[in-house]
Every structure is written in C-alpha cells, then in structure tokens.
C-alpha cells in the first residue's frame, strides 16, 4: 500500500462520528442504560470506542475506492 492509499481519519472526525454512533445507539436501545455516554467514558473506554469508530471510517473510505 502506498502512502497515498493510507487513509487515517482525524481525531476530530473520529470523535464526531463516535458521538453520532453513541447517540444513535442510545436512541435505538443498542446500549443498556448503565453504559456511560461517550463523553463520560474513562480514558480506556474512549480509546477503545474511538478505535472501533476509526476502523469503521477507514473501512468506509476503502469501500469508496
């Protein structure tokens, strides 16, 4: 893979998408009520959630090629 093929979303993009995913998950009942909101996650929880979102954004980017 060349450098031009290497896409990584910005932290701002990851956090924005994570907030949308969290809000939609709550709206549709995907998470149990005791699960903290994205903005309230501890450092490890946020890094894990961000990692999932980042990989999702990368997969979406690759799918458009």
The full DSSP string for 5-19 is G-----HHHHHHHHH
User: Is residue 60's pLDDT more than 60?
Assistant: yes
Q: Which residue has the higher pLDDT, 2 or 51?
A: 51
The Cα diameter of the chain in Å comes to 44
pLDDT score for 30: 96
User: Is residue 4's pLDDT more than 70?
Assistant: no
Percent of the chain at pLDDT exceeding 90: 89
pLDDT score for 1: 47
User: Is residue 18's pLDDT more than 80?
Assistant: yes
């Amino acid at each position: 893979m060349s450098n031009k093929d290497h896409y990584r979303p910005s932290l701002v993009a990851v956090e924005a998408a994570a907030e949308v995913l969290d809000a939609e998950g709550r709206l549709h009942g995907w998470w149990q009520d005791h699960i903290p909101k994205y903005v309230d996650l501890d450092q490890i929880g946020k890094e894990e959630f961000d990692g999932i979102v980042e990989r999702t954004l990368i997969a979406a980017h690759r799918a458009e090629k």
